[in-house]
Structure formats: structure tokens, C-alpha cells
Amino acid sequence: MGIGEISNILWQGYRHKDTGIVIYYDSHEAAALPVRASVAKGGKSAGNDPHYESATYGLHSCSASRYRINFVKNKFGYVFFMTKYQGRNEKLKDKIMITGFYKIGSVADVQKMHLRYLDSNSCFAEKLCYALKAAANEKGESEAVFLSEEDAYVLNSASLKSFGFDKKITKATKIELDEEQTKKLLKKFEGKENKIADYINQTKELS
């Protein structure tokens, strides 16, 4: 049995501030959309996050568990996903872009599941491990949004500076946003088509 087959996860309601974090993921070379890669450069598994199929982060794979512990401890409300685009759109190749976000509505301690079911994890030395799940809106739809490569928010030195960040982007980058910065970033998604269904379909085709 894998984590994807477990239905009795004890999700707990989550009260948060209107702040956020930006985290990095590897994108796939064979897709037009900046969907997650299954294998990172170097031949290692890239994990299953962001897991837009279930609108979760940190459930189906376990890396950077301390980021998620810090997220819950500090009551952040949004996770934004950033990648260095590696897909088929040549004019956007190697551009750093923010492609999607979750507004978090519930959390669960999944450390025991990770230690039992995952081949690798970063929480073996921690006291707990949080998985994050997107909230549901009034229509019952997950508050999880992912944009096309054309609509994604391409970052440059000026936009990074507006986040208070002036370092080189790496796979370990985490950018913490205050309420004003989070609000401005959310505006970059307004009026743009949510392509999450296409992300799910393309990821399935490539698996």
C-alpha cells in the first residue's frame, strides 16, 4: 500500500495569517507546461511535489520537512511554487518563474506514514512532519492555481528584490513573504486561467 491509497489521514483545520512562502521544484523537460519533473538532474528522484492531483504539499514525498514545520509554526497561509523552466517553450528556457500556489486550509502530521511508506524522507530526525493541503472554496473546489508557461510570473532581479531576496535561486531557496508581498503576488494570478487540470493530465502522460 502506498500513501496515495490511504484515506484515513487526520487532516486538521488550519488558521493562518495572510503571509506566504515561495519554494522551488524541478520542472519537466518534455512538457510545454512547467509540470514537476519525475527525475531531477543527476538521475535522482525529484519527488511528487507539488502534488496538484491531491492539492497537497509534503504528503506524497518528503523533502525539506523543516520548511513545512516552520510554515505551520509561523502560521503562513500560502505556498507559492517556483521553478527554472525546462520545458518545450524555447523562449522561456531557464527562466525562473512562479507557476502556482495553494491557499492552505488543513494540515496533518504524516511522519509515521512517511517513515513506513516512502523510500526516502527528510523527517526521520524530526519530531513530526506536516503535510499541507489546499483549502476548498465555496464551490468545493481546491484553492490551488497553476498557470500556463505563458501566464506564469517570470522573476527578475527587481521582482526578487521586492521580496527582500537578493541571492542566487537554488533548489534550496525559500522566500518568506509578509502580508503585503503575498497580496501583490496573488494579484499576478488574477484574471488568468487556472490550468491545473492540464498539469494533472500532462504529468499523467509523462509518468
Per-residue pLDDT of the chain (207 residues; tens, 9 = 90+): 456 555 678 999 999 999 999 999 999 999 999 999 986 555 556 679 999 999 999 999 888 889 999 999 999 999 999 999 999 999 999 999 999 999 999 999 999 999 988 888 888 888 999 999 999 988 888 899 999 999 999 999 999 999 999 999 999 999 999 999 999 999 999 999 999 999 999 999 998
Pairing of strands 96-109, 12-13: antiparallel
Q: What does pTM read for this prediction? A: 0.93
Compute, in degrees rounded to 10, the torsion defined by CA atoms 96, 105, 176, 114: -80
The DSSP letter of residue 121 is -
Q: What is the pLDDT of residue 103?
A: 98
Q: What is the pLDDT of residue 59?
A: 93
Cβ burial, residue 131 (10 Å; 0-12/13-18/19+):
buried
CA 19 to each of CA 75, 169, 179, 185: distance values in angstroms, whole numbers, following the listed order? 8, 21, 5, 11
The DSSP letter of residue 27 is B
